[in-house]
Structure 1
Amino acid sequence: MKSVDYLLIGHGIAGATLAQELRGRGRRVLVLDTPQPNSASNVAAGLMNPVAGKRYALAWRAEELMPAAAHFYRSLETRFQQLFFYEAPILKLFSSVGEQNTVLARSADHPWGSFVPNADVQLPQVEGLRQEFGGLRIERGGHVLVREALAALAAEGIAEGWLQHETFAWDLLVPATDGGTGFTYANRVRAQHVVCCEGAAAVQNPYFHWLPLTPNQGEVLTVECPELSDQYVLNKGAYVVPLGNGQFRVGATYRWPPFAAGITPDARQELSQRLEAITDRPFRITEHRAGVRPAVRDRKPLLGTHPAVPNVHIFNGFGSKGVMMAPRLAALMVDWLENDVELWPEVNIRRYSALYSPAPVVAGAGS
């Protein structure tokens, strides 16, 4: 029987970063993952944006999360001799004079720190860009090739034996019966800890179904627009991420349940109109994809240990910002698991303890 310290369920951006952090600290890890080409991580454009939303707010803990993420993806590039992180300025475009005035008035207090060193409304002249009202130039942003990074890690994991492509079955997980701690899985794996990183599928998790995880569907387009400059990431109601060779990723929509199973004509039209508001150059749609994000009501991830089962944990709920948040929070999670270093209260599942009530788990899982 294979013996590991940690059995991880899922190898999206959450499971992948956590696996790397655990393995980097010498822990024995096994990841079970069902390959899903349209998973949230595989569909995501991998945007790293420290100033987001209609309110132009500095992202939560951006000064700490952004450098940790950049370091993580750079380390993968060195390891695999492959580019994953493309750092580029982000041009966040204003939609009206009123928006321009509001944001520039806020800039007097320097709310964005080093990410926006100069809040001058004047932006560089960019070929093909509609910028009637100017905008903010955001530094130290960019995008990550998430699909490619996960594929490189998965290939390594399969070759080295720490990742297996299979669907996890809760009824095959049972408490150890020899007087020890932990669990056995499918009569072939002995694990001291189980960590749930399965994304939106966690709504059916027998241990953590009580957490307020609400799947959210996002659709993205890949377009060909050779006359649009690829020097910047663009943002105005949608992001436009340069992929090279005149290709761009455009997204994303946000749809709450109930939503369609797959791509929709409405999302295609919506994203096309948003792109037309950003560029006056012709474009051609070459790909349309949809994925389901694991979103949380307070827009903060879910980290922690089950209230009644000390060997079952969750690392999930990253929504649309997993690329930026997961590397630093993976280190925080391992500090919690290994060294009992307290989790940040904003992400600790204890903030939802009032929602928990003891209840039997599925047959075979134990309690």
Structure 2
Amino acid sequence: MNVDYIIVGFGLSGLSFVEQLEKNGKSFMVYEDSSQTSSRVAGGIYNPVVLKRFTLAWQASEQLRVAVSFYKDVEDKLCKKLVEDLPVLRRFNSVEEQNNWFESCGNLGLNEFLSSELVRSKNTAIDAPFHYGKVKHTGKIDINNMLFFYSEYLHKNNKIIKDSFDYDKIEVKEGLVCYKNIVSKHIVFTEGFGMKNNPFFNHLPLQGNKGEYIIIKSEALQLKEAIKSSVFIIPLGQDMYKVGATYNNEDKTSGKTLHAKEELQKKLERFLKVPYSVVDQVAGIRPTVKDRKPLIGTHTDYQNIHILNGLGSRGILIGPTVAKKLYDHIENGVLLDKDIDIKRFNILG
């Protein structure tokens, strides 16, 4: 079989690049073994503001415009409801935090996303004596269903193979990459934290950050918005909520931990004033990088081997933008931005 691209991995980065290929009429085959779960367990919120410090996330305005349009196109393609507007409220812990918020509202860039009106607390299920600030232009992507239905779409069109990838079976020839019975012009690795096992790119400084969420049920909570305090509370419907997440730079295992569950419950109970029950827990390792920028680019020694990785905790926003940048780099010779190009680490890759 001859294709234009082999894609290895199918999380947010893989889907983002595959959609670029689909839009441009390129042929491809995806290899996916579901070993990496960070995309599937993520909260799904798209939010351009770092709510701990009231600052704008990296290139957030540009990425938000691209991402919302991108996900609505995917929604239309799959004929599934995947995107919803969801208000995000930042719970204030003090008058000082209120003042910092309103000061930030006047900053260039942030004034587009931070509401200057104080949102007074009406829901007695949450202790919020200092009320809330509202982030504008936020929403939620149903990531798990998006990946599931897109994978089903690829399966129906014979464009995905659900199998582990064997790096030893790659043969690189001039202008071609051969893998088993597939001959391709390019191969793009979008493996998330699985990159640590990739002999072509495992020298890159992908650190990994484990995140865990608990899923709770509370009939009394009755939230219609996502609330950010010491943890996020994200409505899932039918009195279910996702609460998290933890950030653990040491634990690189994929399993759920009692310590994370207890940590999340302790933080939640500082301000939640109604009964709830924990009905599930999920965990995954975010593909994070020491400089908090993605890993995008082409291997130094092999001009048809590429990487799209390191999207971190804001993959929903970042993915569509950097996928297009990598596609334009490969197909049209467009130079990558220096802050995302893997060449910035001045080592092989």
TM-score norm. by structure 2 comes to: 0.95
Equivalent residue for 1:148, pick from 141, 145, 149: 145
Q: 1:237 aligns with which of 210, 213, 230?
A: 230
Aligned-partner residue type, residue 305 of structure 2: V
C-alpha separation in 1, matches of 2:123 and 2:338 = 42
CA drift of 1:199 comes to: 0.5
1:249 corresponds, among 239, 242, 245, to: 242
State the distance in 1 between where 2:328 and 2:271 align: 43
**Change beyond 3 A, Cα 1:127–1:149:** farther
1:127–1:229 contact (8 Å) kept in structure 2 = no
Quote the residue 1:107 is aligned against.
105
- Asked whether the 8 Å contact 1:4–1:190 carries over to 2, the reply is yes
Q: Which amino acid aligns with 1:70?
A: V
Residue 103 of structure 1 deviates from its aligned partner by 2.9
Helix, strand or coil for the counterpart of 2:90? strand
**Match of residue 43 from structure 2:** 45
- Higher deviation after alignment, 228-237 or 143-152: 228-237
Local SS of the residue matching 1:156: helix
1:181 aligns with 2:175: yes
- Residue aligning to 2:96: 98
Please report the TM-score for the alignment, with normalisation by the length of structure 1: 0.91
2:190 corresponds in structure 1 to: 197
Secondary structure (helix, strand or coil) at the match of 1:109 reads coil
CA contact (8 A) 2:192 2:309 kept: yes
- Alpha-carbon shift at residue 24 of structure 1 (Å): 1.1
More displaced, 73-82 or 283-292?
73-82
Match of 2:123 among 117, 126, 136: 126
Q: Does 1:87 align with 2:80?
A: no
Shift of residue 135 of structure 1? 2.9
2:253, 2:12 → 1: CA distance? 24
What code does the residue aligned with 1:182 have?
Answer: L
Give the RMSD, CA atoms, in angstroms.
1.7
Residue pair 2:48, 2:64 contacting (<8 A) in 1 also:
yes
Q: Distance in 2 between matches of 1:11 and 1:342?
A: 25
| Residues 263 and 289, structure 1, Cα contact 8 Å, conserved in 2 | yes
Question: What one-letter code is carried by the residue in structure 1 that aligns with 2:79?
Answer: Q
2:65 match:
67
Deviation at 1:121, TM superposition (A): 3.2
Amino acid corresponding to residue 60 of structure 1 in structure 2? W
Please point out which of 156, 163, 167 is paired with 1:159. 156
Deviations 1:229-282 (A, max 9, x none): 332111112111111111111111011124454111111111112222342121
Indicate the residue corresponding to 1:139 in structure 2: 136
Bigger shift: 100-109 or 324-333?
Answer: 100-109
| Deviations 1:39-58, CA, capped at 9 Å, x for gaps | 10111121111112421111
Q: What secondary structure is seen at the aligned counterpart in 1 of 2:343? A: helix
Identity %: 29
CA distance in 1, matches of 2:252, 2:211: 10
Letter aligned with residue 98 of structure 1: E
Query: Match of 1:27, as an amino acid?
Result: K
Partner of 1:296, secondary structure, is coil
Letter in 2 for 1:42: R
Gaps of at least 5 residues in structure 1 are: 359-367
- TM-superposed CA distance for 1:311, in Å, is 0.8
- Structure 2 counterpart of 1:12, which letter? G
Per the TM alignment, residue 127 of structure 1 is displaced from its structure 2 partner at its CA by: 4.9
- Higher deviation after alignment, 275-284 or 17-26: 275-284
8 Å CA contact 1:142–1:233 kept in 2: the answer is no
Q: Aligned partners of 2:98, 2:200: CA distance in 1, in Å?
A: 47
**CA, structure 1 residues 261+332, in 2 after alignment: closer, same or farther (shift >3 Å)?**
closer
Unaligned runs of 5+ in 2: none
**Helix, strand or coil at the partner of 1:123:** coil
Determine the structure 1 residue equivalent to 2:19: 20
Q: Which moved more, 1:339-348 or 1:305-314?
A: 339-348
Amino acid of the residue matched to residue 29 of structure 1? Answer: F
How far did residue 204 of structure 1 move? Answer: 2.0
Per the TM alignment, residue 296 of structure 1 is displaced from its structure 2 partner at its CA by 0.5
AA at the equivalent of 1:300: K
Deviation at 1:114, TM superposition (A): 1.6
